[in-house]
A and B are shown apart, each in its own frame.
Chain A
Amino acid sequence: MPLNIDFQQILLHWMNLAILTGGLYVLLYKPVKQFMDKREAHYQELERQAAGKLAQAEQLKAERQAQLDQAGEEIRQARAKAQQSAQQAAQEQLDQAQAQAQHIVAKAQAEAEQSRERIRRESQRELRELAAQAAKRLAARPGTDPFDQFLDLAEGGKSHESR
């Protein structure tokens, strides 16, 4: 054969390579690869656990946030309710005060009216009494003009002509 090619030796080399491949597979390739796969699986598991914990933490955070939001909403509602009730109470008090004021004013007006009526009646009565007294005095003093006498009496006994 050219180049001294020997098929028997080629077959021997094949056998040699086959033995080497098999031996390296059993002794080196397989165990190293198994270990590498095992380590990869281990770190993947760690990563998975970390991801699970992260998701759990995220969920917890979301729950807490929801609770916070709910509490905020409750606080807002309670504040609104309190404000409403305070406004209502204030309005009631105002209404009550207004009613009282109206009542007081009405009462005061009524009392004032009564007082005015009483004073007017008393004034009329005093006037009538004065008029009656003056008429009696005039009637008792002869020679004087009754009208002048009346005027004098009315002006406190001074002669109206002297002014």
Chain B
Amino acid sequence: MKQRKLGLVFGLAAVLLLAAALLAAALLAGSPGRTESVQGAMRDAVLHDVNQISLFGLKAVTPGMISALTVTAALLIAAACLRVFVIPKFRYTPGRLQLLLEEAVGLFDNMARSNSPHRNRFLGLYLFSVGTYIFIGTLFELLGLQAVTVAGHPITLPAPLSDVNAAIATGTLSYLVIVSGAVAGNGPKGVLKALKEFSLPISMSFRLFGALLSGLLVTELVYYYVSLSFVLPVVVGVLFTLLHALVQTYVLTMLTALYYGEVSEPSHKEPKKLQAKKA
């Protein structure tokens, strides 16, 4: 007990010393000066027309594209590690990590089953994939990974979905999945059923974009002024990001599951006699 307390005190002292050292280093190093105004930073956060990054020297892309590729690579590497080191050791009585993985898979699988009882095999996979992407992608901005723009300025990589192209891609892909469910459930007639919800890809895309962008703008604003950069980012940066990572994951996956279930449900034809009677 005494040793534990002693360890805690030493740990705390080490953290405080590190914080003090970092503060001193920051003060001594000084600031290179602002390269852009707050208006410019905000505009670029929305449009990404200035700070673009080269994609393997092939094309200048938005930082969101680089974030998306980084998130995908990180997720695939983590999945490969889990596949090799964790999954073979799965037991009938699960440990913590196994429980976490099973909960993650079970959550989206159950969401697909409950919202689309007729056809849910692919939907479960898609929800798991896109849900993981949105959740991890939103938390990705907390890492504050740096990249260099084509103009040579350093830039912090944002959440992938704060890029309008990524949001549109996710929204339209979700809509395509819904259309595929309609076709699989009802044949060519299902397309008409899905096309009735023509506003869905736009609403899905811009809902995601708006939600993620607002988070990004608030964070940009907070970090732009040095006086706001202490304590406040703990709430704005971490808690808000965690919260809207959960909310956006839930909203997009739930909407996709709901519409998929609705359009993939086989239509029941009423007998002609019954129709005549009703008329």
Which positions in A face B, CB cutoff 8 Å? 3-6, 8-14, 16-17, 19-21, 23-25, 27-29, 31-33, 35-36, 39, 42
CB contacts (< 8 Å) of A14 on chain B: these are 169, 172-173
- Which of A5, A10, A12, A23 contacts B79, CB < 8 Å? A23
A35 nearest CB across to chain B (Å)? 5
Interface hit among B15-23, B129-137, B139-147, B254-262 = B129-137
Q: Say yes or no: is B105 at the interface (Cβ < 8 Å to chain A).
A: yes
Interface hit among B31-39, B61-69, B191-199, B236-244 = B61-69
B151 nearest CB across to chain A (Å)? 16
Q: Say yes or no: is B75 at the interface (Cβ < 8 Å to chain A).
A: yes
Asked if residues B76 and A27 are in contact (CB atoms below 8 Å), the reply is: yes
CB contacts (< 8 Å) of B132 on chain A: these are 24
Interface hit among B43-51, B178-186, B225-233, B265-273 = B43-51
Task: Write the B141-178 contact mask toward A (1 if CB under 8 angstroms, else 0).
Answer: 00000000000000000001001111011101100000
CB contacts (< 8 Å) of B79 on chain A: these are 23-24, 27-28
Interface hit among B3-11, B80-88, B215-223, B245-253 = B80-88
A3 nearest CB across to chain B (Å)? 5
Asked if residues A17 and B90 are in contact (CB atoms below 8 Å), the reply is: no
Pick 22 A–B contacts, CB within 8 A, sort by A. Answer: A4-B47, A5-B164, A6-B61, A6-B62, A6-B165, A9-B163, A10-B165, A10-B168, A12-B65, A13-B168, A17-B170, A20-B72, A23-B76, A23-B79, A28-B79, A28-B105, A29-B125, A31-B87, A32-B105, A33-B109, A39-B92, A42-B92
Asked if residues A4 and B72 are in contact (CB atoms below 8 Å), the reply is: no
A11 nearest CB across to chain B (Å)? 8
- Which of A4, A20, A32, A42 contacts B102, CB < 8 Å? A32
- Which of A6, A12, A25 contacts B125, CB < 8 Å? A25
Known interface pairs A17-B129, A21-B126, A28-B83. Does A10 touch B76 (Cβ–Cβ under 8 Å)?
no
CB contacts (< 8 Å) of A9 on chain B: these are 61-62, 65, 163, 165, 169
**6 extra interchain contacts, Cβ-Cβ under 8 A, other than A24-B79, A24-B132?**
A4-B49, A10-B169, A12-B61, A14-B169, A24-B128, A29-B105
CB contacts (< 8 Å) of A16 on chain B: these are 68-69, 72, 169
CB contacts (< 8 Å) of B187 on chain A: these are none
Known interface pairs A29-B128, A32-B102. Does A17 touch B65 (Cβ–Cβ under 8 Å)?
no
CB contacts (< 8 Å) of B124 on chain A: these are 29, 33
Cα–Cα distance between A29 and B133 once the two chains are bound (Å): 14
Cα–Cα distance between A19 and B75 once the two chains are bound (Å): 11
Q: Say yes or no: is B101 at the interface (Cβ < 8 Å to chain A).
A: yes
- Which of B125, B126, B170 contacts A13, CB < 8 Å? B170
CB contacts (< 8 Å) of B72 on chain A: these are 16, 19-20, 23
Cα–Cα distance between A33 and B65 once the two chains are bound (Å): 30
Asked if residues B48 and A4 are in contact (CB atoms below 8 Å), the reply is: yes
Cα–Cα distance between A21 and B253 once the two chains are bound (Å): 14
Known interface pairs A17-B130, A24-B129, A31-B87. Does A4 touch B65 (Cβ–Cβ under 8 Å)?
no
Cα–Cα distance between A21 and B105 once the two chains are bound (Å): 13
Asked if residues B129 and A20 are in contact (CB atoms below 8 Å), the reply is: yes
Asked if residues A5 and B105 are in contact (CB atoms below 8 Å), the reply is: no
- Among residues of A, the one whose C-beta sits closest to the C-beta of B130 is A17
CB contacts (< 8 Å) of A4 on chain B: these are 47-49, 62, 164-165
Cα–Cα distance between A104 and B49 once the two chains are bound (Å): 143
A15 nearest CB across to chain B (Å)? 9
B132 nearest CB across to chain A (Å)? 7
Asked if residues A13 and B164 are in contact (CB atoms below 8 Å), the reply is: no
CB contacts (< 8 Å) of B117 on chain A: these are none
CB contacts (< 8 Å) of A10 on chain B: these are 165, 168-169, 172
B171 nearest CB across to chain A (Å)? 10
Asked if residues A13 and B68 are in contact (CB atoms below 8 Å), the reply is: yes
CB contacts (< 8 Å) of A32 on chain B: these are 87, 90, 101-102, 105
Asked if residues B105 and A17 are in contact (CB atoms below 8 Å), the reply is: no
B4 nearest CB across to chain A (Å)? 36
Q: Say yes or no: is B106 at the interface (Cβ < 8 Å to chain A).
A: yes
